[in-house]
C-alpha cells in the first residue's frame, strides 16, 4: 500500500512511528508539513524524516507544498492529518477533494472537512469509487465507526450519548478531585497535549459538537452542521458547582447527545450519578449507542494522543487494503 501523509504534528508522527515499530506493509511515497514537502516514488525512510523534522523543524523541501504532494506523488491512500480548521475546513478539504478526484482513497483525522462538507465529500468519493474513512475524527482510538458500520450493522441506532472531548473531561476530573480552578486545570490539560491548537474549541464545547455532527451525519445520513447543535461549554463552570454535585454523589460531565426522534443535537455540561457508565476520569472518552437489537453498547477508550489516533488511522488504511484487495 503506497501512502502519502500530510501533516507532521502529533498524529502524523504517530503514524510514522507506528509504521516503523510494527513494520507495517506501507510504502510512504510523499510527506508534507505546512512548510515543506518530499516526494519519492521509491519510498521515504520514516525514521530519517522524523529526525530531520525534529532537528530542522521541517520535513522536506520548502519549495514543495502539501497540494503539490497530493498532485505529484504516486499513492493509493492519502492520509490527511493536518490541523483542523472548523470554520473554513481548509486547506484539508482541498487536499481531500483533489486526492479523491485523482482516484485515491482518503483516511483522515481532520474534523473540519467532515463537519462542513460531509455529504459532498462522501458523494465525491462514491463517484470516483474510492473510500473516504475518518475513524480518527471521533473519540481517537475508540473504533466507533467500525462498530457502527460492521458490528452493529443489523441494528437501528436510536440515540447516542457521549463524552467526546478528553480535554474537558480532564479539566472536570481535576476540578472535582483536586478542587483545582478551571484555569489551573486547563493549563494542565494543555501541557498534556490533548487540547486543540486553539483550546477554546475544547472548552466551549465546539470540538464535541463537531463530533456529534460527524456521528449524526454518519449514522442517520443527516445533513447537519455545527449551527444545528445546541452548545454550552464548560468554560463558565465553577468549582463550587462541581462541589455541589459531588455532595449529592453526582458529578458534572460534558455530554454530547443526538436523539433524532426528539430532534435533539446537544452538547452541554450535565449532572450525572458518579456510577453512571459515562462518568470516567482523566482524558478518557466514552460513547453509548442505544440500539434496537443490541440494547446499549458503551465504548470507552483514549480519545486523543499520538499513537492512539494513529491506531484509528492505521485501522482505516488496513481496512481499505483488505476491501480493495485483488482490485487493480
Catalytic residues: 211
Per CB under 6 A, does 143 bind ligand HSE?
no
Compute the least distance from the CB of residue 72 to ligand HSE, in Å. 30
140 is a contact residue toward ligand HSE (CB under 6 A):
yes
- Among 33, 80, 135, 202, the residue binding ligand HSE under the rule CB under 6 A is 202
- Measured from the CB of residue 26, what is the shortest distance to ligand HSE in angstroms? 23
- Could you say whether residue 134 binds ligand HSE (CB under 6 A)? no
Q: Which of these segments, 5-13, 99-107, 194-202, 289-297, binds ligand HSE (CB under 6 A)? A: 194-202
3-class state of residue 248 by DSSP:
coil
Size of the site for ligand HSE (CB under 6 A): 11
Our finding on whether 195 is near ligand HSE (CB under 6 A) is: yes
Residue numbers 214-233 binding ligand HSE by CB under 6 A: none
Return the residue of 91, 113, 166, 205 that touches ligand HSE, per CB under 6 A.
166
DSSP 39-91: E-TT---HHHHHHHHHHHS--SBTT--HHHHHHHS--SEEEE-PPP-TTT-TT
Residue 124, classified by CB atoms within 10 Å of its CB into exposed (0-12), middle (13-18) or buried (19+), is middle
Which of 82, 167 has the CB closer to ligand HSE? 167
255: β partners: 268
- Is residue 196 part of the contact set for ligand HSE (CB under 6 A)? yes
CB-neighbour burial class of residue 220 (10 A; exposed 0-12, middle 13-18, buried 19+):
middle
For cell 453526582, name the residue. 250
Give the Å distances, CA to CA, from 270 to 234, 254, 302.
10, 6, 21
Quote the CA–CA distance of 136 and 310 in Å, as a whole number.
8
Interacting residues with ligand HSE (CB under 6 A): 140, 165-167, 194-196, 202, 207, 303-304
Amino acid at each position: 500500500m503506497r501512502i502519502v501523509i500530510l501533516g507532521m504534528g502529533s498524529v502524523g508522527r504517530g503514524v510514522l512511528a507506528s509504521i516503523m515499530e510494527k513494520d507495517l506493509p506501507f510504502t510512504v511515497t510523499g510527506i508534507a508539513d505546512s512548510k515543506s514537502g518530499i516526494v519519492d516514488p521509491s519510498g521515504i525512510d520514516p525514521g530519517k524524516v522524523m529526525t530531520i523534522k525534529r532537528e530542522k523543524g521541517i520535513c522536506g523541501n520548502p519549495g514543495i507544498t502539501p497540494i503539490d504532494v497530493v498532485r505529484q506523488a504516486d499513492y493509493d491512500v492519502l492520509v490527511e492529518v493536518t490541523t483542523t480548521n472548523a470554520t473554513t475546513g481548509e486547506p484539508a478539504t482541498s487536499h481531500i477533494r483533489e486526492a479523491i478526484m485523482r482516484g485515491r482513497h482518503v483516511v483522515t483525522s481532520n474534523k473540519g472537512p467532515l463537519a462542513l462538507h460531509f455529504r459532498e465529500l462522501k458523494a465525491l468519493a462514491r463517484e470516483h469509487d474510492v473510500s473516504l474513512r475518518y475513524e480518527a475524527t471521533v473519540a481517537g482510538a475508540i473504533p466507533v465507526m467500525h462498530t457502527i458500520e460492521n458490528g452493529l450493522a443489523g441494528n437501528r441506532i436510536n440515540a447516542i450519548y457521549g463524552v467526546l472531548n478528553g480535554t474537558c473531561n480532564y479539566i472536570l476530573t481535576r476540578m472535582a478531585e483536586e478542587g483545582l480552578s478551571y484555569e489551573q486545570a486547563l493549563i494542565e490539560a494543555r501541557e498534556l497535549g490533548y487540547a486543540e491548537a486553539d483550546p477554546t474549541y475544547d472548552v466551549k464545547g465546539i470540538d464535541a459538537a463537531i463530533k456529534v455532527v460527524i456521528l449524526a451525519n454518519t449514522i442517520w445520513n443527516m445533513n447537519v452542521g455545527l449551527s444545528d447543535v445546541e452548545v454550552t461549554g464548560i468554560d463558565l463552570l465553577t468549582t463550587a458547582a462541581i462541589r455541589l454535585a459531588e455532595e449529592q454523589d453526582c458529578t458534572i460531565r460534558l455530554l454530547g447527545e443526538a436523539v433524532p426522534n426528539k430532534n435533539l443535537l446537544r452538547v452541554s455540561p450535565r449532572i450525572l450519578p458518579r456510577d453512571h457508565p459515562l462518568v470516567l476520569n482523566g482524558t478518557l472518552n466514552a460513547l453509548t449507542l442505544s440500539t434496537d437489537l443490541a440494547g446499549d453498547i458503551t465504548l470507552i477508550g483514549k480519545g486523543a494522543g499520538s499513537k492512539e489516533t494513529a491506531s484509528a488511522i492505521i485501522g482505516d488504511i488496513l481496512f481499505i487494503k483488505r476491501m480493495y484487495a485483488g482490485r487493480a
